[in-house]
Amino acid sequence: MGFRRVALGALMITASLLALVEPLAARERVTPLYGAGILSGALPQGGHYVLTAPSSMPLTALELWYRVPSIGYGPAIHPSLGRLAAQSAAASSAAQGLSLGEYVASIGGTLSIDVFPDSVAITALVPSPEADATLRLLTGSYFSPHITDAGLHRAKLDMTTEAMYERFDPSVALRNALFAGLFVAGPEHYATLDAHDVAALDLPTVQAFAERAFRPQHASLVVTGATAPSLLTAIMPSATITNTTFSEQDELAALQSTPGSVSTPRFVPFSQPGGGLAWLGPDIDDELSATAMDFIADYLFHPIDGKVTRQLATALPDVTLNGQFITLQKPGIFLVGVSGPGSGAALHQIRQQIQALTKPLPPDVFLQARRAFSYHIQSELQTPTGLAASFGWYATEGSPGYAPGAQGADSQYDHDIAALSARKVAEVAQTFLQSSPLWVTLEPSQSIREKTH
């Protein structure tokens, strides 16, 4: 009896959800891709959306993801173009209105723009009564970008200040040097923020990039937290008319990066000592291997529970550590960086720990580490922005069904974790991490130089 009542209730809810999103005319569905109660489907002008089941806090996260080359579509290379365009769109206001940035600030929300070499994410976290208006402004600002002089000026000011902070951030210096060393060409080779480049970029260049990059056809819209299907009616259609047809082949080519030799160590002048290691890893399509790489990063470098994290906290407490596997279409990247006094010793310890993983962990250690890994992944999804970031990242990288949180606790990602064995992890470590990594050393030196063995 109870079961039948629940089932009938679920059917009624599903029916009412579908009725409410009539404006998107039958394109949407409660799709098995993301699980019960989660709506997903095509946006009116291409691209797609995901809208999760509601939660009990009146907060809504609205995330817009794009797969775009941060350096532009060529032939000229502008490392900061993707970031400047995204920031400028958020800072530009329509006539007599507020910009997206101003609006989100005026309701006590938060706005962040994350720019990666091959993607951009714009995230607003707002009180749920403001979600409609925010979504209208978010989609209006990006689907029909109109960069104003004032918006570009504001964005340049913001990015110049950010560049100043980044100059003193060892994790940024290491990441930029590691990516520049792993790839010889393409977006992954370049830092996404360069103060000189920001200063040189002009309005027509930024506007042209924004119109091409932020078309709704490229968009993945994710709405999480306190949601309602009626929200989807707030999505603004694109008003930008471009006569140019962009070939899909050109667009894909602009996103490609060319891996290079990883045998040459790099030395980078910096205000404090530090160092980093990086390896190329599996593509996102190789789900089990990618999950094994995530497991390795978690087991060794989780910010609290990681084995190396805890060892360094005792032996080298002045060292700051950051290690992760970045899941990308092709190829993924495993990187680890340290900074502070004792970094050299820390890197050698890290190398040893990674090498040790080419042999299977003892069964009890492996099972505990796998349980901890599974918990860490699920804990990261507890906030609206954490869940939205998971859905957005994996959709943008072309594997939405692999996103942690898709299908709740019964996700493909969870199945992949369950399928991991100590032997499989060792095999993956042998395949991807046994070779010599790219080494980068941060040197407290004023002179810019490069060394080779």
Partner 1 sequence: MHRRLQACCLAWLAFFPAAVTASPMVPRVTNLSLVDSLTDGAQIFSQADPATLVSGIDLFIRAGVDRQAPHQGGVAGLTAEMLLDMPIRAEPGAPTLNDAIRARGGSLVADVDGQSLHLYLEAKNADLADEAALVAHVLANPHFDNGVFLQAVTSLRKRVAALRSDPLVTGIAMFRDAYYYNSDAGQPPLGTAADLQKIARADAEAFFQYSYRRGGASATLVGDVSPANKAAAKALLLSLAPGASQPIKVVGRQPLAPQTSIISFRNIPAPWVLLGFPAPTPGSDDFGAMLVLDAILQEVFSRASTTSLPSSQQPIGLQYDFHSDPANVILYVDGSVIDESVALRALTTLRLALGSNKLDSTYIDRYKAIAEGCYLTSLASLPQRAAEIDSLANLGLGVNGLNTVLQKIEAVQPRDVQRVLRRYFDASTASFVLPRVGEQR
Residues near partner 1 (CB under 8 A) are: 52-59, 87, 90-91, 99-102, 104-113, 125-130, 154-155, 158, 161, 165, 224-225, 304-305, 313, 317, 368, 371-372, 374-375, 378-379, 381-385, 387, 405, 408-409
Beta carbons within 8 Å of 158's beta carbon, 6+ residues apart: 87, 91
Q: Which is nearer to partner 1, 42 or 372 (CB)?
A: 372
CB of residue 406 vs partner 1: minimum separation in angstroms?
12
CB of residue 397 vs partner 1: minimum separation in angstroms?
22
CB of residue 35 vs partner 1: minimum separation in angstroms?
11
Give me the count of residues in the chain.
Answer: 453
Q: Which is nearer to partner 1, 169 or 250 (CB)?
A: 169
Q: Which is nearer to partner 1, 246 or 375 (CB)?
A: 375
Identity of residue 340: G
Q: Which is nearer to partner 1, 145 or 225 (CB)?
A: 225
Distance CA 409, CA 368 (A): 18
Q: 440 is written with which tokens?
A: 């980068």
CA 277 to chain CA mean position, Å:
20
Beta strands per DSSP E along 5-82: 29-30, 39-42, 48-51, 59-66
Q: Which is nearer to partner 1, 2 or 75 (CB)?
A: 2
Q: Which is nearer to partner 1, 257 or 291 (CB)?
A: 291
Tally: H helices and E strands in the chain: 16, 14
Q: Which is nearer to partner 1, 341 or 398 (CB)?
A: 341
CB of residue 213 vs partner 1: minimum separation in angstroms?
18
Q: Which is nearer to partner 1, 220 or 378 (CB)?
A: 378
CB of residue 34 vs partner 1: minimum separation in angstroms?
13
CB of residue 41 vs partner 1: minimum separation in angstroms?
20
Q: Which is nearer to partner 1, 282 or 400 (CB)?
A: 400
Distance CA 93, CA 425 (A): 50
CB of residue 104 vs partner 1: minimum separation in angstroms?
8
Question: Where does residue 6 rank: exposed (0-12), middle (13-18), buried (19+ CB within 10 A)?
Answer: exposed
Q: 275 is written with which tokens?
A: 């160092």
Distance CA 90, CA 142 (A): 8
Residue listed under structure tokens 């095509």:
42
Q: DSSP 3-state helix, strand, coil percentages of the chain (rounded to 5)?
A: 45, 15, 35
Residue listed under structure tokens 């000011």:
157
Q: Which is nearer to partner 1, 351 or 376 (CB)?
A: 376
CB of residue 130 vs partner 1: minimum separation in angstroms?
7
Q: 384 is written with which tokens?
A: 């609206």
CB of residue 176 vs partner 1: minimum separation in angstroms?
19
442 neighbors 339 (Cβ within 8 angstroms): yes
How open is the CA angle 91-96-98, to the nearest 5 degrees?
A: 35
Identity of residue 209: F
60 neighbors 223 (Cβ within 8 angstroms): yes
CB of residue 53 vs partner 1: minimum separation in angstroms?
6
How open is the CA angle 243-244-250, to the nearest 5 degrees?
A: 165
